[in-house]
Structure formats: C-alpha cells, structure tokens
Structure 1
Amino acid sequence: MSDAIPGSTPRATDETIRLAKRVVEITGCSRSEAEHYIQGGWVRVDGEVVEEPQFKVGRQRVELDADARLAAPEPATLLLNLPAGANGAEYLRPENHWPEDPSGWRLLKRHFPRLAEAMPMEPGAAGLAIFSQDGRVLRRLQEDGPKLEQEIVVDVDGELAPYGWSRLTGGTSFQGWPVPAFKVSWQSEARLRFAIKAVRPGLIAHLCEQVGLRALAIRRLRVGRVGLAKVPVGLWRYLPVNDRF
C-alpha cells in the first residue's frame, strides 16, 4: 500500500531529473534522506519500486509508501535450500525467493550484492546454505561455527561393518584431529541422521567410510537453531533480524 506524496503529479515538460532530487522537491526532505527512502524501496515510479537515486524521471508519477522509514535497511542473510552439487550463487536471485517466506522482509535489489557464503557444506552436498551481507553474522559463524550443532541426513549404501556402530559412536578422529562427540541414528534402512559439531569438508563421508558405508547423498537441515523449515529446493528465504544461530 502507498500514498502519493503531495505535489507528486507529473511534470508538464519532458525535462528529466534524478529521482532523489524529485523526492526532495515534493517532500522537503534532505538529499541524504531522499536517498535513504529510495534505497530502502519506499519510493515508486508509476507504481513500480525504484531503488536507484540516480534514476531519471520526467512525467512519471512518484509516490512514497505510507509506512516509509528513514532507517537504513539491515544487511540481509539468505537461507538457500541448495540442490545437490549446485553453485549456490546461481540461485540467489529475486525470482527464487520463497513466496511463503514468513520473515516479513521486503525484497530489495540491495540484498544481493556482496553476499558471502558462511559455513560451506561438504562437496556435492545439498540443503541449508547460508549467504550473508552482514559482517556480524559472518563473523559469528566463523568464530563460533565449530561450536554450533549441525543436523545432517545422509543416504548410505553398503553393509555396516562388524562392531561398526560402536566404532562410529565411540569417538574417532579426522585429519589428525579428534571429532567431538556426536549423535547418530538411523532414519530408515538407508538413511543416517547426524547431530554433529565442528563439521569440516569430507568429515561426514569419512565417518561413513570408517564403518563400511558409502555416503550417496548428504543434506544439511539445520545449523544451530536455524533450519530450512519448508523452503523448497532451489528457493531461499530471509533470516529474520531477531533469529540467532
């Protein structure tokens, strides 16, 4: 919903000016405030949101959303349900936003540049992939990531080696480092569920190989308290501001 800014009727000439200047003219705000409004996705030109202050307008109708705020938009964190073996960056597009996203975030162009992946998954794995512009989130996951429990399901093939279960749950090492205690259970005859910390690339496949099993497919469902929820494969949702890993 939007309300027209007073005085936002189209100009009578074909002269074009920057959108930021038009917003200043018709609201009386400062140039920096006008740019905040525009970059925050609060300004519409002929009914379409425009986020570029330098956008040229002439006869178009300019409107400001009724609930427009001057606060700078928060940097975004996107949670993608990554298809197996895919390049996550290829899916971080507006058209792949989950329509049922309950976060309340407004979809903005500025949420897509400078996204960095946090806590990369096993090679070829699927499931919860985390991309963020927020230095606080990236720092937290880099520093505290090894302490966060991850929920991972693995489709396996092969036959469990004699005493394999006790070997798997009784403590092991990987690349010369001890693996912290973890939980593992059968979800079905061919699927294991791990609740495990300090996951490094190759660890899950290694744990399976140690007991005579071959990991066919690996899917991450959760990191800390944040999970995929019902996001379909190939789509993403926003991480709400108040949610913490």
Structure 2
Amino acid sequence: MTELLRLSKRMSELGLCSRREADEWIERGWVRVDGKIVSELGSKVFPHQRVSVERQAAAEQSKRVTILINKPVGLVSGQAEDGHQPAISLVKAENRWSECPVDNQFHPTQLMSLVAAGRLDIDSVGLLVLTQDGRIAKHLIGQDTTVEKEYLVRVEYSRPGRLPEKDLRLLNHGLSLDGKKLIPAKVRWQNDDQLNFILKEGKKRQIRRMCEMVGLTVLGLKRVRIGKVKLGKLPEGQWRYLQEDEQF
C-alpha cells in the first residue's frame, strides 16, 4: 500500500517550496490537493495526488531575494557566535557592489528569513549564499544535493620534498572522515602552492581535514563557485543580488 506523506514534505519533495513555506501557504489556504483547498497543518497526501499552489504563493515567492556575499575572514556564516559577527551583518545598502547587475532596491525587510545556504569557516573567504527562497536552500544544502562547490586552497607541505602523486590521488578519492568514505572529489594543482578543489559535499572543515591527512597545511581557502554561479569580480566584504538568469 502506498504510504501517506505530510503535505508540507511532499511540497518540498516536488520542489514547490521549503517545508516552512509550505506550512505558511497551507495555513493561508494557498494549497490545493486534487483541486481542493487544504488548510489544515499536518494534512497528509498520497504521492500520486496532484498538489498545486495559488497564484498568491507564486507571487510572494517571486519577491524573495537571494544574495551573494564575498565573505571575508573573521565573519561566521550563520548566527553570531563567540562574539563574532555573522555574514548577514554585511547586507546593507553601503556594502552593495556598485556593479550589481540587478535593478532591485535594497530594503531591510529583505533581511527577514534570510538564511545561509551552506557555510564557510570563519577563517575562509569567498562565495557565500544567503537566501529567502526555500527552494534554493534545499537545492544547495538538502540531503541529496549534488551541486559542485569549487575552492582555491593555498597549502604548505609539512614533509620533505613535494606532495607525492599517490597522495594527490587520495585527495581525489580514498579518504574517510568521521568514519565515512568521502565521495569522489576533483583535486588538482592550480600552481606551485595552490590546489583547486571541486566537492559535491561539505562536511565540517572538510578540505582542511583532508589536507592534514596527507601532510598539507592550509594557509588560505577561498570558495570561487557554487554550481554555475561564480564569485567573479565581487569585492571582498561586498554583496550583490542573484540575477534572474543565474542558476546554481
């Protein structure tokens, strides 16, 4: 027998919105199942049932912003912690990149429900995504995400000579963290002291820990791409809006 699913979970699976958005829309009477409005939280549906949303939901979703920040060292990605400022503190009119291509006026209400879709360590720099759009957050940090993240990593080898080729192959595939094998990565030398990493997962301090395992010390780490969206010329400490034609 086909199993019943929570309506909010089913809406998230279908890519309509996040679960939190789904609950809001259900309460407002903006969700239909097989053409009938369902407004009770916790309602369940079968996978074969048709779920649709009213135009008001789509209109509200279109107003939600996604912001790209070039995060500097010393800021945390999410909530403020240990006296360190969060990256969202940079999102104000005076820090907006003068070359931002989106004709959108900044307003403090855009900070509401703006969450980091992924993280960068406090001592790492580069591309950080903050979004009000649950679909984008799920796409970037959901359990089944396969979105590539690209990093430039300045390293120093702590042993005599140069990193052996076999250890470079280990960085690409063969290491384990927290008792689990890492999925294959793409790691190559960018220049004499800098590696290029492309990952499809993001365990805590993953690159630094991978490097330690083969005798490398990370001196600097910069994220330059998430999916098809590049950091580009965005200056450190500044932000811009995601363009309509940009997709991760």
Number of aligned positions between the proteins: 175
Alignment match, 2:88 = 89
CA distance in 1, matches of 2:169, 2:228: 28
Alignment partner of 1:152: what SS?
strand
Alignment partner of 1:192: what SS?
strand
Question: 1:135-174: CA deviations, max 9, x gaps?
Answer: 2222222326741111011111124454322332342211
Alignment match, 1:147 = 146
Alignment match, 1:39 = none
- 1:244 paired with 2:247, answer yes
Contact 1:157 1:216 in 2 (8 A): yes
CA distance in 2, matches of 1:230, 1:198: 25
Alignment match, 1:172 = 175
Alignment partner of 1:147: what SS?
coil
CA distance in 1, matches of 2:221, 2:98: 26
1:77 to 66, 71, 82: 66
Alignment match, 1:102 = 101
Alignment match, 2:79 = none
CA distance in 2, matches of 1:142, 1:130: 11
TM-score normalised by structure 2 residue count: 0.65
Q: Structure 2: give runs of 5+ residues left out of the alignment.
A: 1-58, 76-85
1:207 to 207, 210, 216: 210
CA distance in 2, matches of 1:108, 1:85: 25
Q: Name the larger-Rg structure.
A: 1
Question: 1:29-56: CA deviations, max 9, x gaps?
Answer: xxxxxxxxxxxxxxxxxxxxxxxxxxxx
- 1:134 paired with 2:133, answer yes
TM-score normalised by structure 1 residue count: 0.65
Alignment partner of 1:111: what SS?
helix
Alignment match, 2:115 = 116
Q: Report the Cα offset of residue 123 of structure 1.
A: 4.1
Alignment partner of 1:110: what SS?
helix
Alignment of 1:209-224 (within 5 A): 209-224=212-227
- For structure 1, which segment, 228-237 or 114-123, has the greater mean C-alpha deviation from structure 2 after superposition? 114-123
CA distance in 1, matches of 2:134, 2:169: 41
CA distance in 1, matches of 2:197, 2:150: 6
Q: Structure 1: give runs of 5+ residues left out of the alignment.
A: 1-70
Alignment partner of 2:94: what SS?
helix
Change (3 A) 1:231 1:101: same
